[in-house]
Structure 1
Amino acid sequence: MTAKKRILIADDMHECILPLLKEAGYDPVYLPVIDRVGILEIIEGFYGLVIRSKTSVNKELIDAGKNLAFVARAGAGMDKVDEDYLVSKGIAAINAPEGNRDALGEHVLGLLLSLLHKIPSAFEEIKKGIWDRENNRGIELKDKVVGIYGMGNMGMCFAKKLQGFDCKVIGYDKYKDVLDETFITRVDLEELFEKTEILSIHIPLNTETNQLFKESYLRKFKNLKVLINTARGEVLDTVGLINLLQDGSLYAAGLDVLANEKLESYSNEEVALLNTLTYLPNVLITPHVAGWTFESYQKISEVVASKIIELG
């Protein structure tokens, strides 16, 4: 009898992944609390590795996994996975953006509408006994130009969810071709700079995109008023963003990600920057939860399992 292919699941996953893999003939080993040292000690005995965010899959770990056929990231971003080295070793790299794209698309829409209509700041005033209608007058999304930077799973899902708001949706992507432009119009970078009023960022973090959105770059957007970033914090220059908000160039910003999300490790400078952002009434920050819902938790596991099974 052929031995079953063992798969190490080295992070917390929805329970549905275990029966799905078992039914397909795999032997999943679920060790959600294992640390990096533990993974390095046992990874040689596994056919596949499933991780989320805590584990960096670099050359050291890949070399230790001498029998790995794949590494699967339960989520969209692959910035902690050395995909080039995996490819050079003949190891498949899997991710699951299909699992949380709907969650993220809804979250971006929630951030955007909350900012346009000043919902959080108005509520904060009411808690203080202030009933101010005029200064909490909102702005409609209708007829605005929404520019989507990055037309992958996340960007396209958000574009689709904008249907029904009677706004114009344009998108730019340096690498991806879009076959269906039913709910988005593909433009070049210059047209994106020229027309965008609301910018939503949906690009991966890599050496090319790290700190791409510096202040000088953001100022190329001639009509930009609202910025939403649910990609990675490192693609956006926080100081530059604050400057645009404070000088009135930007009406509002919504962030689901920060360059450093371990608040307990902050330097004095980082604390000061975060305090500045959180004190601004036209800024909303959420703790990297845009793609993290009860539904996406299960769907991500289902997508990962299906892609593993497709590998054979």
Structure 2
Amino acid sequence: MAKKVVFIDTVHPVLWDRLSAAGYNCIDATELKKEECVTQVTDATGLVIRSRFPMDEAFLKHATELSFIARSGAGMENIDISYCEKRGIHLHNAPEGNRNAVAEHALGMLLSLFNHLKKGDLEIRKGIWDREGNRGIELDGKTVGIIGYGNNGAAFAKKLRGFDVEVLAYDKYKTGFGDAFVKESSMEEIQAKADVLSLHIPQNEETKFWVDTAFINAFAKAFYLINLSRGKIVRTSALRKALNEGQILGACLDVLEFEKASFENIFSSDMPDDFKFLLESDKVLLSPHVGGWTHESYFKLSDVLADKILGEG
């Protein structure tokens, strides 16, 4: 009997095609409600997910034959990892698939913020020709601090090689990665030297709201913040305070504290004041959690997952 894989979220069809060719029975549950998915997973060998709903014990206990969960993306915070470890359920993610997209997006946001590209474009469209008000600053000569030197952090460092910048990187769980282009550093050195700080770490109990007022005030210089990791790593009230006081000069945010499982529902009538501040601030550049979501990465995410699933057998 063919092993059953239930696709709970929509991903690039290459994953379906490659698993089907290998003899798996692929089931499309992308349009089913959560309760309906429960009936589909009872005899499933694998699940393919993104972020539609949490993979918690209450849901996974119904999947008694489950061998693996494949997450199209890098973050695993919507999966009960400890429960899966107890059950022996293998977890696959695909940070290799979107690391280049994240790195290019981070660099694009930073250069756009430095050169007021959004502001200048909007003003010209309104008939305003303000050269002095849109005078930019250069990345050249700056010190860029990267926290988290996994797939995404390393890819961002690689993109910075064409600029005359000093790149410092800190990773609590990794050593020995320094080379001619990046200096392996301590958190203290980054806080002493960074002009730009880029976050590339997962969201977990340790990192949730890690970037708060105390964290920000530990930096010797005012700096620019880039966050393409997870929104709840940065406490927005602390970011708002730092922007108002000049400790943070500007922020590039692809992710927000206020995101919900279905990202489109982030806007509501009871929008928090801190979120309204971000929307109105010309010191903040926003994008809708698409840093790793290019046409190329959409394919690569699924292709990487197929490699991992089929390689495991």
TM-score in same-fold range (> 0.5):
yes
Q: 2:99 & 2:83 partners in 1: Cα distance?
A: 27
5+ residue gaps in structure 2? 260-264
Whether contact under 8 Å (1:49, 1:70) holds in the other structure is yes
Q: 2:176 & 2:4 partners in 1: Cα distance?
A: 37
Q: 2:7 & 2:281 partners in 1: Cα distance?
A: 41
Give runs of aligned pairs for residues 275-286 of structure 1, distance below 5 A. 275-286=276-287
Q: 2:85 & 2:150 partners in 1: Cα distance?
A: 21
Counterpart residue number, 1:108: 106
State, as a whole percentage, how many aligned pairs show the same letter.
41
Whether contact under 8 Å (1:99, 1:296) holds in the other structure is yes
Counterpart residue number, 2:262: none
Whether contact under 8 Å (2:222, 2:246) holds in the other structure is no
2:70 to 69, 72, 76: 72
Counterpart residue number, 2:312: 311
Matched residue type, 2:93: N
Q: Structure 1-normalised TM-score? A: 0.95
Q: 1:294 & 1:276 partners in 2: Cα distance?
A: 31
5+ residue gaps in structure 1? none
C-alpha displacement of 1:131: 1.6
Runs of 4+ in 1 over 6 A off after TM superposition: none
Give CA-to-partner distance per residue, 1:79-101, whole Å, 9 cap, x none: 10111211111110110111111
C-alpha displacement of 1:176: 2.5
Give runs of aligned pairs for residues 85-164 of structure 1, distance below 5 A. 85-164=83-162
Whether contact under 8 Å (2:212, 2:234) holds in the other structure is yes
CA-based RMSD: 1.4
The answer to whether residue 198 in structure 2 is matched with residue 200 in structure 1 is yes
C-alpha displacement of 1:281: 1.2
Whether contact under 8 Å (2:177, 2:184) holds in the other structure is no
Whether contact under 8 Å (1:12, 1:33) holds in the other structure is no
Give CA-to-partner distance per residue, 1:157-210, whole Å, 9 cap, x none: 111111111111111111123546343211011111111110001111111111
Whether contact under 8 Å (1:148, 1:172) holds in the other structure is yes
Moved more, 36-45 or 89-98: 36-45
Give runs of aligned pairs for residues 22-61 of structure 1, distance below 5 A. 22-61=20-59
C-alpha displacement of 1:310: 1.3
C-alpha displacement of 1:136: 1.4
Distance 1:265 1:131, change over 3 A: closer
Aligned residues: 308
Matched residue type, 2:43: G
Q: 2:85 & 2:294 partners in 1: Cα distance?
A: 31
Q: Structure 2-normalised TM-score? A: 0.94
User: Secondary structure at the residue paired with 1:64?
Assistant: coil
